[in-house]
Amino acid sequence: MGISVNGVDISDSEIERELPHHQAAGNPLKQSVHELVLRTVLLQEAERLGIAGDGDDARIEALFAQEVRVPEADAAACEIYYRNQPQRFTNGAMVEARHILFQVTPSVPLELLRETGEAVLAELRVKPERFAELAREYSNCPSGAVGGSLGQLSLGQTVPEFEKLLFRLEPGAVAEHLLETRFGLHIVEVLRRIDGVLLPFEAVQAQIADRLKRAAWQRALHQYLQILVGRADIEGVTLEGADSALVQ
């Protein structure tokens, strides 16, 4: 394939050995190549810095430990996160909701789906009592057969963007706009909500600090990888610094 990193070739046989580890990726071949290139860049950097280790993985971990450092999250940062994300620290919060899903497929243009969804939403603004009827007619979700009902949902049961809207809507309210997720476009209505109990800040401060530190570490690692990739002479492939399972 003609791929090299700072003059070191990556062979087809190496790529073939890496492929089985990335079968779940959207493009296993691309992911395998990116993984090998990044690993080579990191091992070369470890060699340059004289970092030893028991095997390649250990050397990469030691490189990260030495070169990627982030400060601990202070109490003020934790408290800001706590105030801005109360739903994450609420026990017993639950909503009863229903939706109409307009699923994105290769055979249906997104704009046509959006037009259809907007038309159905406009009808519901005038006649909200038709929600179940329109869900049965238009929804591409199995819930359409029961009028779009999703039953009772607690935190963590849906994708983040859907959850954020669910726990923001007032009971009886239909969202003013279509919600776009990886599954398609949704019309969302909350029928009932139980707010739950917000845990005290002191009980979750350590959890928040850990979350913030991990997020900061991911950002710092992403930047570090971009620097290394930008500095390396890579031929045969275009690589983004953090497009790898190594950063997970």
For every one of its 248 residues, what pLDDT tens digit does the chain have, with 9 covering 90 and above?
589 999 999 999 999 999 999 988 888 999 999 999 999 999 999 999 999 989 999 999 999 999 998 988 999 999 999 999 887 898 888 999 999 999 988 888 888 999 999 999 999 999 999 999 999 999 999 999 999 999 999 888 999 999 999 988 999 999 999 999 989 999 999 999 988 899 999 999 999 999 999 999 999 999 999 999 999 999 988 765 444 444 44
Tell me, letter by letter, the H, E, C secondary structure of the chain: CCEEECCEEECHHHHHHHHHHHCCCCCHHHHHHHHHHHHHHHHHHHHHCCCCCCCHHHHHHHHHHHHCCCCCCCHHHHHHHHHHCHHHHEECCEEEEEEEEEECECCECHHHHHHHHHHHHHHHHHCHHHHHHHHHHHCCCHHHHHCCEEEEEECCCCCHHHHHHHCCCCCCCECCCCEEECCEEEEEEEEEEECCEECCHHHHHHHHHHHHHHHHHHHHHHHHHHHHHHHCCEECCCCCCCCCHHHC
Tell me if the pTM is above 0.85. no
Q: Which CATH class is domain 93-195?
A: alpha beta
pLDDT of residue 217: 94
Give the pLDDT of residue 17: 93
Would you state the pLDDT for residue 240? 55
Give the residue extent of every domain in the chain.
3-72+204-247, 93-195
